[in-house]
Every structure is written in structure tokens, then in C-alpha cells.
Structure 1
Amino acid sequence: MIQTHGANKRGHDYLVGDLHGQYALLQTMLSRVGFDQDKDRLFCVGDLVDRGPDSLACLSLAFEPWFFGVRGNHEMLAYQALTEGGEHWRLWMMNGGDWASRYDITDIRQCLEKALENLPYAREIEASGSRIGIVHAEPPRDWTSIERAETSDKHDLVWGRSRIKRQDQTRVLGIDAVVVGHSIVEQPTRLGNVLYIDTGAFHTQTLTLIEADEVIAWLE
């Protein structure tokens, strides 16, 4: 369900919004900040695949030792399509999954299954003495409940939008800050102690990359 990460004492930690196949754009952003793969870590809020030109390259980031993502609804949609077919396949194709047709479908399914082993539902990192949680879509009211999450809770973690729809400023308990994607915003947007960083890179070409220390400063 969740993986925790201590403070990075050797380099910097960065968080990035939904990639959606924008591999070249990500590389440009990492180059701008001088990202060092030997010292720095990159945390992604999910949706590595679909809609963009390089979904397979983005999915393959899950195997890099410096990359730490969480699973998004597009990873789960792809998984259902590739393992169950039928209506799930149709929905995936309607939502940007057509990139898979350029490859052997069995290879894509196997790659995704292995990638999901490295994409938990949530991550938690330490930065500047504070704790930052990461999920794709919507955190629970109490962060500590993630460990015992039921099926319905897992759905909210990758699909939920009720908080942003209500513009709910209630703080998530048990954590200093939570960073999420899924819901497209024009610019990083704060609701309580939750920071939304999906700026719609697949159609805006604006990919939000923010240092972990900046998240804490932003929420303060």
C-alpha cells in the first residue's frame, strides 16, 4: 500500500506531476534543475502512461533506481484492459491507450505488471523535518488509515476528486503535507495541506516539477 523514504542526505528530492507519456518534456525539466541521478530522487504522482508520445519510456521509469512513482488511474485502467479486455479495453482506447498498439501487447502487459510492483498506492518522504505524503488522486481524511485501506479507499486514492470538487480546505490528519495529481489545475493549487500539481502536461506542455523543501514552504 505505502512505501516510506527517509530524508535524502546526499542530494535533492523532487516531485513531478502526471507525466502522460511526456518523456522528452520531463528530461528537459530535469536538465533545467541539474538533476543528478546518483544523488537526487524523483517522486511522481502517477499517470505515467497514455495520451502522450512516449508512454512506454515513461512506464519504464518505474525501473530506475532514482525514480519513485505511485500508481495512477491510467496505470490501473491499462492493467484492467490488458488482463480483462472487453469494456475495459474500449475505455482504455478512449482514454489514450492507443499507444500500446505500436507494440506487442503481451510485452506491454508484462512490462506494466512488473512496473506496478514498483508503483504502490502511496509514498511518504521526509523533507526538512516534515513528512510529505504522495497519492495520485485523493488522500484519506487520516493519512494513517492508508495502511488498512479497503477496496473503496483504494479507488479514491487513484480516482477520487471529491475534495477538489468541494474545494475542501480540511487538513489531512497524521501528515504534514500531501501532494497529488489527477485533477488538472492551471498552476499548483493548495487545499488545506494538500497540494495539486497536475498541470496537464499532455496538452499544455506545462509539467510541474517542485523540490520537496518547496512543498513545505508552499504549504506554510
Structure 2
Amino acid sequence: MLDALSKGLGSSEFQFWMQNGGEWALEYDLDELYREIIKLEKSIPLAIEIPLGGINVGVIHAEVPGHQWQSLARELTDSDFRRAIWGRSTILSALYDAAPLEVAGIDYVVLGHTPLKEPFQAANRIYIDTGAGHSNGDLTVAMLESLLQNNCPNNTPELFRPD
């Protein structure tokens, strides 16, 4: 969205955003929207950590840079920031790799950004984006409390998908 707004109406980024649900923005002054989103971006966390009955669950949009949860505590390079927001290399590797890497320093990480037909777990990463923002997608919610049952590295959370 920020790339689309910064590059403007005629850009391929803007067209891609419009094709993927950005039409709502056309109801606003785009320059003002861009300024407000920049302010908001500086005030919200890139990732959150949820302590839950003796385990810690991280939530991030796309990827954990360097597969190290603690890397998010330091100031990120532009490249790491982009991976956290836009990255897909980790999930693509996990979909085709028999031994996906675990994110160190956290028990589980819940991620999205890459729509899948079904939720997918790779090591301690749980991908739940099932395309709710698309006309043919579904909403999936990870019930984090279920991770406490039989806590083990391959424990998969209960998932809720409304009909």
C-alpha cells in the first residue's frame, strides 16, 4: 500500500494494489492517506509477542528476518523490514523443503501475507492466511490457547474458520 501510494496512480504498484482490495482508498485524498499511514506505521509494532501459559507466541505479517525472533528487537535494516512485511521466501521454501527452519527464540510464530488454500505449519511457524481479503478466500483464526495442550514442537493450534 505504501509503495502504491508513494509511486502514484499510474504505477504498476498502484494497479496491483487496486486489484487486491485497495479500491476503498479511492474514497480518500491519497496524499493525506499516505501521510496518515506513515504516522500510523511509526506508532504500531512490527511484531508482537504473546505470553501464554509458559510459552511465547509471536505474531508477524510475513517473515521473521534471519529466522531469529530477537532480530526484531533491534533496529531493522530496510531489507529486514521489507522481509517482515513482504517476504515470501521462507514460506515458499517451507512448502517445498522437507526440513523447514525453526524460528529461534520463540515457541511459535503465527504469520500471514501469503494466501493458501489451507493453513500450513512448518516447524514452529503457523501460516494462517487463507485469503480472507479475496473474494474466494476464507478467514482463519488460530486459537492460541490450544497450543497449551500437549505442548510440543509439532503441536498445531486449533483453527477456527467460520462458514
Q: Same fold (TM over 0.5)?
A: yes
Tell which deviates more after alignment, 121-130 or 208-217.
Answer: 208-217
Find the structure with the greater CA-based Rg.
2
Task: Provide closer, same or farther for how the CA distance between residues 215 and 189 of structure 1 changes in structure 2, counting only shifts above 3 A.
Answer: farther
SS of 1:204's equivalent? coil
Which of 34, 43, 65 is the aligned partner of 1:109? 34
In 2, Cα distance between equivalents of 1:216 and 1:172: 18
Q: Give the fraction of aligned pairs with identical amino acids, expressed as a percent.
A: 37
SS of 2:109's equivalent? strand
> Could you state the TM-score of these two structures normalised by the residue count of structure 1?
0.56
Q: Using the TM superposition, give the Cα deviation of residue 134 of structure 1 relative to its aligned residue in structure 2, in angstroms.
A: 1.1
Tell which deviates more after alignment, 175-184 or 137-146.
Answer: 137-146
Q: Using the TM superposition, give the Cα deviation of residue 173 of structure 1 relative to its aligned residue in structure 2, in angstroms.
A: 0.5
In 1, Cα distance between equivalents of 2:105 and 2:87: 19
Q: Which runs of 5+ in 1 are unaligned?
A: 1-77
Q: Which runs of 5+ in 2 are unaligned?
A: 156-163
Which of 130, 137, 144 is the aligned partner of 2:55? 130
Mapping of residues 1-220 of structure 1, within 5 Å: 78-85=1-8, 87=11, 88-140=13-65, 141-148=67-74, 149-167=76-94, 168=97, 169-201=100-132, 202-217=134-149, 219-220=154-155
CA contact (8 A) 1:177 1:216 kept: no
- The alignment of Structure 1 onto Structure 2 pairs a total of residues equal to 143
In 2, Cα distance between equivalents of 1:106 and 1:155: 22
Q: Using the TM superposition, give the Cα deviation of residue 142 of structure 1 relative to its aligned residue in structure 2, in angstroms.
A: 1.2
RMSD: 2.4
Q: Using the TM superposition, give the Cα deviation of residue 116 of structure 1 relative to its aligned residue in structure 2, in angstroms.
A: 2.3
Q: Using the TM superposition, give the Cα deviation of residue 200 of structure 1 relative to its aligned residue in structure 2, in angstroms.
A: 0.9
- Which structure ranks higher in relative contact order (CA pairs < 8 Å, sequence separation ≥ 6)? 1
Q: Using the TM superposition, give the Cα deviation of residue 146 of structure 1 relative to its aligned residue in structure 2, in angstroms.
A: 1.5
In 2, Cα distance between equivalents of 1:123 and 1:180: 11
Task: Spell out, residue by residue over 1:102-160, the C-alpha distance to the aligned partner (whole angstroms, 9 max, x if none).
Answer: 23334533443343244322111111211111111111311111223211111111111
In 1, Cα distance between equivalents of 2:47 and 2:26: 30
Task: Provide closer, same or farther for how the CA distance between residues 89 and 174 of structure 1 changes in structure 2, counting only shifts above 3 A.
Answer: same
In 1, Cα distance between equivalents of 2:45 and 2:61: 10
> Could you state the TM-score of these two structures normalised by the residue count of structure 2?
0.73
